[in-house]
Structure 1
Amino acid sequence: MSVEEGKRLTGKVSPARVRRWVGQEWAGVRRSVHSACFEAGPERDTLVQSLKAAAAAIAAWAVSGWWFQAPMALLAPWTAIAMVGSTVYQSVRTGIQQFAIIALGTLWASASMAFTHDQTMAAMLLTLPFMMLLGNYRRFGSQGIYGATTALFVITGGVSSTSTVGHRLLETLIGAVIGLLVNAFVLPPVHLRSVRDRLVRLTRETADVLGGVAEGLREEDGLEMSESWHHSAGSLTVSLQNVSEARRWAMEGSRWNPGGRLRRVGPTPPPFAEDTRWGSVCTRVLALTRTLKTINDDTGLPPPSPDFLRLLSDVLGQASSICAIETDLLSGSAAGALHERRDAAFREAWSTLSSLTGTFHQQEPSASAVGGELLLEARRLMTELAPSD
């Protein structure tokens, strides 16, 4: 390794960078803990599901290990933990898959032990390659690995009698039933609120990105921050994917779920059209920041005039205000006053866009290319932000 490479690698793991990373991680943990304790949202849902999985495992151990005195009681809590899924439907599907693969692993390993006269190494050679291949069968989903691990438990247990095999299957069934009952009847996950929560986060983050770009464009050297703007706009796609994931969980969560009758689920999620609308908004924001980044990176490309950038900043600032109002509307704030504020912000934004169009026509021909692209994306952004109502 050269000296230069050594310095570069040393710089990558500098104490200052490590401290900064630890500080960021600690701040993220604190935010998550605070949200789980004091706010309804994904963090609290994760906390509830984690505690339910732990409770299901303890209950399964109490039944199989303490009450029945089962010889392989570990299988019951192990199965129960896997059964507490994100939805009741997922628990049922997971339970069927898991019980099937565990039963196959138990039977195959027991047969191998009997065939090899309880020779551990020989039984492993006969069992593990087959169970690993079988575990990749798509019908078993993510539960396929449990076949091989169960086979290991059986083989290392060293006994292959019929009664022992029956005990292991019974313990697995106990864990599956307890896990399913806990997930279905103890605060069953409904996921209806998650769609709204994640849409609110997306609109709030969009408002922050647009507000940051608008504020930066008012500064003399604001375009130098264009790379960070583009990075922030790119992160909106992650939030948009989270909305899509929450929508899928909400649809799956309503299947075979008694939660609609056992829990107060709150208002229904926003319509799917909102997902499409905000996906288009994020695309326009990403395109705007990409164009601004191109202006800053390409020194041979003349930027638009300061007056054009000032008016563009005003348009984006008004778009940020509209996104903030949409955030309040999705959060359930007073709709009447917010609708009036939103309509007023739209009128002001379109008026500013007219001024921006007039300034564009006064541009130098060399600056028309990027100016025209920025103007077009700004108009598209305001069109996408227009609500369906």
Structure 2
Amino acid sequence: MPAGIEVSIEERKRLKGKVRPWMRWWLGREWAEVRRSVRSACVEAGPERDTLVQSLKAAGAAIAAWAVSGWWFQAPMALLAPWTAIAMVGSTVYHSVRTGVQQFAIIALGTVWASAAMAFTHDQTMVAMLFTLPFMMLLGNYRRFGSQGIYGATTALFVITGGVSSTSTVGHRLLETLIGAVIGLLINAFVLPPVHLRSVRDRLVRLVRETADVLGAMAEGLREEDAVERSASWHLWAGGLTVSLQNVGEARRWAMEGSRWNPGGRLRRTGPKPPPFVEDSRWGRVCTRVLALTRTLKTISGDTELTPPSPDFLRLLSDVLSQAGRICAIETELLSGSGSGELRERRDAAFGEAWSSLSSLTDAFHDQEPSASAVGGELLLEARQLMTELAPSA
């Protein structure tokens, strides 16, 4: 056997030994995520259960549409009904109605155009595709059709490959599409209609919890000798808060859209109302202050010309951030709906201690060397603004 092949086999064995542990780790992580999602869907209300309900509703809508069009009416193109019904079970009732109008319009256009192309070409499939698909793909990108534009071309394919272009067949296809749209809309609107009120609270609680985690990590790390060097990881972590903030805004939009044309407010127990919109703005400002603090600390580590504050100043800053993290942790419990007088007293006490630590931090700033005043002043300003946003009266 040539030497090159022997080397190749040995190299393959070596790589194989490295790949297997990585694959086991990846499969283990994925299996753990699946188990967590299944357990969450079974034991508590949340996004996982919402996904389970919507998936089962879409499957039920497809089965019901097939039962009506294929089993009862014996429609020649019954596939269109369940196919349309699945797409109709959207995230909100309003979304289902809007999607239904868009989808029925584009499917009707695809059906009529493809049928006309088949009649014009005397049922020649390849020539009918040349006349139909380029036009339907361009038409599907028209913004009024939204994400449903692709259904025009796929419907045209169904019609062309069916090989029949009579007027009665076109009418059957439109009727089957309408049956699927109506069944999907009715099931989505009257069988556990999605209301999305809880998602706002859940995502806002997650944002506040993540903010508390970042502040806690910063408070702990600032007491270490390598505090400035670890600031890059804090800044990256704090940057993830903007994603969570965007998720809160998205959930707020879903909640507003979910209440339109939705009988769910009368058919389902929706639970407590989501926190007011002012909380979104407040925690958005808090995240901005946290990100500014981490950015300033990261700047110190990357610029050798800047003089970092003294260890005493960083220790007092750690005390302020530790109390801020405690406030965020208490706010998490309050936003979760477990509000009580005791929690509010704990929050007020933590805020008082934080403000006292902030006063000590201000005194330490005045004792700084002039070369460190620029960085120390910026950290002090951001910490003060952070506490202002966290104030109970904010």
- Measured against the shorter chain, the TM-score band is over 0.9
Inter-CA distance 23–374: structure 2 relative to 1 (3 Å threshold): farther
Is structure 2 residue 64 aligned with structure 1 residue 63?
A: no
Aligned to 1:127: 132
- 1:230 maps to which residue? 235
Aligned partners of 2:208 and 2:332 also within 8 Å: yes
Q: How big is each residue's C-alpha offset from its partner over 1:63-83, in whole Å with a ceiling of 9 and x where there is no partner?
A: 112222211111111100100
Alignment partner of 1:52 is 2:57: yes
Match of 2:6 in 1: none
Q: Are 2:139 and 1:139 aligned?
A: no
Alignment partners' CA distance in 1, 2:33 and 2:300: 34
1:363 aligns to 2:368 (yes or no): yes
Please list every run of 5 or more consecutive structure 2 residues that lacks an aligned counterpart in the other structure: 1-13
| Segment of structure 1 superposing worse, 292-301 or 82-91 | 292-301
For residues 223 and 133 of structure 1, the distance between their equivalents in structure 2, rounded to whole angstroms, comes to 55
The alignment's TM-score, normalised by the length of structure 2, stands at 0.93
8 A contact 2:61–2:187 mirrored in 1: yes
Contact preservation (8 Å) 2:84, 2:180: yes
Q: Distance in 1 between matches of 2:27 and 2:217?
A: 26
RMSD between aligned residues: 1.9
Question: Are positions 1:273 and 2:275 aligned together?
Answer: no
User: Is the Cα contact below 8 Å between 2:75 and 2:176 reproduced in 1?
Assistant: yes
Taking the TM superposition and a 5 Å limit, the aligned residue runs for 1:249-328 are 249-328=254-333
1:224 alignment partner, SS class: coil
Is the aligned partner of 1:203 residue 2:208?
Answer: yes
Q: How does 1:82-231 map to 2 (within 5 A)?
A: 82-231=87-236
What residue ranges of structure 1 are gaps of 5+ in the alignment? Answer: 1-9
CA 281–19 in structure 1, closer or farther in 2 if over 3 Å, else same: farther
Q: Residue type matched to 1:76 in 2? A: A
Contact 2:348 2:392 in 1 (8 A): no
**Pair 26,224 (structure 1): closer, same or farther in 2 beyond 3 Å:** farther
Indicate the SS of the match to 2:293.
helix
Aligned residues: 380
Shift of 1:159: 0.7
- 1:381 partner letter: L
TM-score of the pair, normalised by structure 1: 0.94
**Following the alignment from structure 1 to structure 2, what is the Cα–Cα distance between the partners of residues 388 and 55?**
49
**Is the aligned partner of 1:74 residue 2:79?**
yes
Which of 329, 333, 343 matches 2:348?
343
Deviations 1:88-141 (A, max 9, x none): 011011101100100000000000000000011111111111111111111111
Deviation at 1:221, TM superposition (A): 1.6
Q: Does 1:383 align with 2:384?
A: no
Structure 1 residues 337-380: Cα deviation after superposition (integer angstroms, max 9, x where no partner)? 11111111111001000000111111111111111111111111
Which position in structure 1 is the counterpart of 2:9?
Answer: none
Cα offset, 1:18, TM superposition: 5.4
SS where residue 55 of structure 1 aligns?
helix
Alignment check: 8 A CA contact 2:308 2:375 kept: yes
Shift in CA distance, 232/24, structure 1 to aligned 2, threshold 3 Å: farther
Between the aligned residues of both structures, percent identity stands at: 85
